[in-house]
Amino acid sequence: MNPTEEKAAPRSDFFKESIKLILLAVLIVIPFRLYIAQPFIVDGASMDPTFASGQYLIVDELTYHFNTPERGSVLIFKYPRDPKKYFIKRVIGLPGETVVISGGQVTIINTLNPDGFALDEPYVEFRKNDNLNYTLGVGEYFVMGDNRAQSADSRVWGPLPEANIIGRPFISFIPPDILPGDARNYQSENNQNN
C-alpha cells in the first residue's frame, strides 16, 4: 500500500465529517433561531430598572403559540405603528378588561372584579402622574414600560394586538460595561445625550 494513499483517506474523512457537522449545525440552528428563540438588545430606558439599555436578551418565541400572556409578563413585540421595530413592555391589561389610570395608579376592571382592583406594581420605580381610561377588545393587550416617566406605550399608541407578540425574555445577559448597580447611571447618562 502506498503511504500517500494512507494519508489521503483520513484527510478525506475529516472533510466529509466537517461538512456533515456544518450541515447538521445549519439544520438545527436556523430553525431554532427563526422559530424558537432569537437574541434582542434592549435600547432605551423604558423598562428601567428591570432591564437596562444595552442588555442582551434571548427571547422565547414558542411559549405564546401555546399559552396567552398573563398580567405582569414582559413581552417582546412588533410595534403596532411600525412592525419593523421591536419593543419590550409589561402586560398590564388583558383582552376584554378596562384599564383605568388615575394619578398614576392602575386599576383593572373585569368580569371577576366589576368594581375594579388596584394593580400592585412592585417593579415600577419611576412613576408618572397620568390619567386614562381604556377598554380592550378581543385579542388586545394594554402594555406599559416599568419606567412610566420615560415610556411610550399603550398610554400613547393604544393597545397591542395579539398578532404582534413575538415572545418573552427567556435569558438575560448584562454586558460587561453595565454592572447591575450601575445600570440606572448608564441609562440616565445615555438619556442626557438625547
- Rounded to whole angstroms, the Cα distance separating 33 from 30 reads 5
> Within 13 Å, how many C-alpha atoms sit on residue 79's CB side?
11
What is the signed CA dihedral for 29, 35, 37, 40, rounded to 10 degrees?
Answer: 110
Task: List, by residue number, the catalytic residues.
Answer: 46, 89
3-state secondary structure of 84: strand
Residue-wise over 88-104: b if at least 16 C-beta within 10 A, else e? bbbbbbbbebbbbbeee
**Residue 149 neighbours by CB distance under 10 Å:** 16
For residue 21, what are the contacts with CB-CB under 8 A and spacing of at least 6? none
Contact predicate 40/32, CB 8 Å? no
